[in-house]
Structure 1
Amino acid sequence: MSAYDAVIIGSGPNGLAAGIALSQEGKRVLILEAHKEVGGGTRTAELTLPGFHHDVCSAVHPSGFISPFFKTLPLEKFGLEWIHPEVSVAHPLDNAPAILLKKSIKDTSTQLGQDSNRWVSLFEEFVGASDALFKDTMAPLQIPNNPILLSKFGLKGARSAVSFVNSYFKDEQAKALFAGCAGHSILPFDKMLTSAFAMMFVIQGHVTNWPIVKGGSQNLAKALSGYFVSLGGTITTNTRITNFEQLPIAKAYLFDTDPKQLAAICKAELPKSYLNRLHNYKYGPGIFKVDWALSESIPWKDPNCLKASTVHVGGTFNEIAKSEKDMWEGRHSEKPFLILCQQSEFDATRAPKGQHTGYAYCHVPNGSTKDMTAAIESQIERFAPGFKNIILSRHKTSTKGFQDYNPNYLGGAITGGVSDISQLFTRPVARLNPYSTPNHSIYICSASSPPGGGVHGMCGYYAAKSVLNKKATIKR
């Protein structure tokens, strides 16, 4: 008799989601975590000075709040508290008011000049049917719940961001706002599907103001793990798995790891042809991140930027497109596109009274060793003169630093691998069931499986469903 029905390697949001989904069905589940704490990309630490609590990786969680699986869980009973800012995104421009992505489509569109009506017509239907859209887009390839809605989204989303803005927008305001959202794809803007990423982030912003977790992202992991344990699950930390023989006997093994770790651990359990395909997986660019302890709020030229949990710093569409093209082609942008978060503006627990935390990262070539601090701080200074003068302390994380922190982030790639047309739907390899492997007892449940990166747990949820739908047996 197996000691467990399932053993999960890794306790990121996907590993925890898989554990919960299996435990809800009465399965005996063990989660093994190499780090001293659960969480993966959802951890919080005093990276700069005492009393300044910084999110180590993921910081703002629209996909976590709207996750079709997380929404079904009683996470508030386990300490989760969402905080919603007044607006989702601020996008500062030179010598012009910042553009704000607000929950109200109308209030957002009134800032967009000639593109006001077009913005409403592009997004209104999707926002009105967002629950159905999220269920179909945050899933592997399958028969859709709403095929007409999904096909409408797909026809627009399949386009490149360049093609999209040239077809639909005339003024820089709408183009820039769309560019900032497209930047989350970590793809050059002439690639197919970059408009789908932008559309999804825009729609999420019109459904809910992008939230943070009170006390830090770690509290989302704590709530998930608390609920998992309440269902009878077991978690063991400080346990790094490097060889399959280290694992206890179980009917199924789910890996919340990147493909190369899966290949290394299971090299004797999987056929060489499959291992070769795992080794050919594309990870894409990495990131360079800086966290700051600040003496006061960021002094944005437009104070409306302080209303947003996220600020997209980079200027015009063309400037952001150039930055993303540079990192894709192995160059370091002199004016990088930044994703900046200012959690302490909305959560007083993040910093000492009157002081603040800051967080920003830019995209860089995979494995980059270049220190991007000066370029990042100059970009912020451009839109917030005096920013450098309020820095009390800073903490830098390079691509190597991210990989050392979490081996899933190979070369600093934080989203589980490239999400281009060749890999978004077939990650980590092309199989009818992407979570399965040739060994009927080994599964992958990380962001390197569909629907990909983001703190939403849907990769883990669907991997768990695969286990439940197939009797996994292994003799050791």
Structure 2
Amino acid sequence: MSTATVVGSGPNGLAAAITLARAGVDVTVLEAAATVGGGTRSYEGIAPGLIHDHCAAIHPMAVGSPFLNSLDLARHGLHWLDTEIDCVQPLDDGTGGVLRRSVAETAAGLGADGALWRGLFAGTVENIDKVGPAILSPLLRVPRHPIHLARFGAPAPLPASALARAFRTPQGRALWGGIAAHTFRPLHQPMTSAIGLGLLSAGHAFGWKVAAGGSGAIAAALAAELTELGGRIETGARVTSRNDLPPSDLTLFDLDPAQVARILDDALPPRIHRAFTRFRRGPGAFKVDFAVH
């Protein structure tokens, strides 16, 4: 394999392109928009100089990512910023569940739920160097530290709603439930605790980082890394059918299944085409950015 085309320049598409380019593959990324990044883009919104992110502004998993840690993206201007408080889930009475970097400080703020919080996260955070790579990488082989991973994963199969019932305070339930909701699935379903456990463990271990200059700085740094490796990026290159794809040995799509089905059409096996066209997106998220003067 000597050539590859990646359709879509979101962070996953750029990561795939960089991985291929590092292996010596001639890579071209096609992006329909005028700028790279997909949801990892930033823009000036309601006030001059005030940067907004199209999608996520906070990246709990970024600093612990084995892939990002294999790159020196600071050379391309990516710098991470910390906040004193990572997250607050507010309640109507003016209180809220507060996530701090320290497990102990977070637990202290949760009153009667402090012991439960320490039990869920203290061990994982203390052993994050052993557990983190396994959590953030595909499980393609037997984990190097199976006991530590098993301790982290023991509550992961539970529905998030079941684990929520273990909390006794409104603040504890709010903090757990708000972050577990990032699974974008009904919280009574199995395995919905896994995302909450991962995001909260990352918050305590690494902090919920913000990219200086907005999330677009992440995409810009990845694009610069790819270009430095010899990869090419074509913006304004919308792909709507197979005819828009250049000849290459490999084509990867950083798109959703329905988009891929429309592009490849009958080139897909019928069973896969049916599955892709039946794909349904999960619930949406509504984000409000406040300009504080």
Please report the TM-score for the alignment, with normalisation by the length of structure 1.
0.58
Distance 1:92 1:287, change over 3 A: closer
Distance 1:136 1:282, change over 3 A: farther
1:214 aligns with 2:212: yes
Aligned residue number for residue 84 of structure 1 = 82
What RMSD in Å do the two structures reach over aligned CA positions?
1.8
Question: Contact 1:58/1:217 (CA < 8 Å) preserved in 2?
Answer: yes
The 5 A counterparts of 1:233-252 are: 233-252=231-250
Aligned residue number for residue 21 of structure 2 = 23
1:262 aligns with 2:242: no
Aligned mates of 1:221, 1:104 — CA distance in 2: 29
Q: Deviations over 1:385-422 (max 9, x none)?
A: xxxxxxxxxxxxxxxxxxxxxxxxxxxxxxxxxxxxxx
1:194 aligns with 2:211: no
Aligned residue number for residue 175 of structure 1 = 173
Aligned mates of 1:36, 1:67 — CA distance in 2: 28
Aligned mates of 1:276, 1:16 — CA distance in 2: 28
1:113 aligns with 2:80: no
The 5 A counterparts of 1:261-410 are: 261-292=259-290, 294=291, 297=292, 355=293
Q: Give the one of 223, 228, 236 matched to 1:230.
A: 228
Deviation at 1:200, TM superposition (A): 1.2
Matched residue count: 292
Distance 1:290 1:104, change over 3 A: closer
Deviation at 1:141, TM superposition (A): 4.7
Deviation at 1:272, TM superposition (A): 1.3
Aligned residue number for residue 59 of structure 2 = 61
SS at match of 1:286: coil
Aligned mates of 1:37, 1:281 — CA distance in 2: 27
SS at match of 2:285: strand
Deviation at 1:96, TM superposition (A): 5.4
* Runs of 5+ consecutive residues of structure 2 not aligned to the other structure: none
Question: Contact 1:144/1:150 (CA < 8 Å) preserved in 2?
Answer: no
Deviation at 1:165, TM superposition (A): 2.5
Aligned mates of 2:189, 2:13 — CA distance in 1: 30
User: Which AA in structure 2 matches 1:162?
Assistant: S
Aligned residue number for residue 155 of structure 2 = 156
Deviation at 1:285, TM superposition (A): 1.3
Question: Contact 1:86/1:209 (CA < 8 Å) preserved in 2?
Answer: no
Q: Which of the pair has the greater relative contact order for Cα pairs under 8 Å at 6+ separation? A: 2
Question: Contact 1:16/1:224 (CA < 8 Å) preserved in 2?
Answer: yes
Q: Deviations over 1:172-193 (max 9, x none)?
A: 2222211111121122221212
Deviation at 1:283, TM superposition (A): 1.5
The 5 A counterparts of 1:409-420 are: none
Please report the TM-score for the alignment, with normalisation by the length of structure 2.
0.93
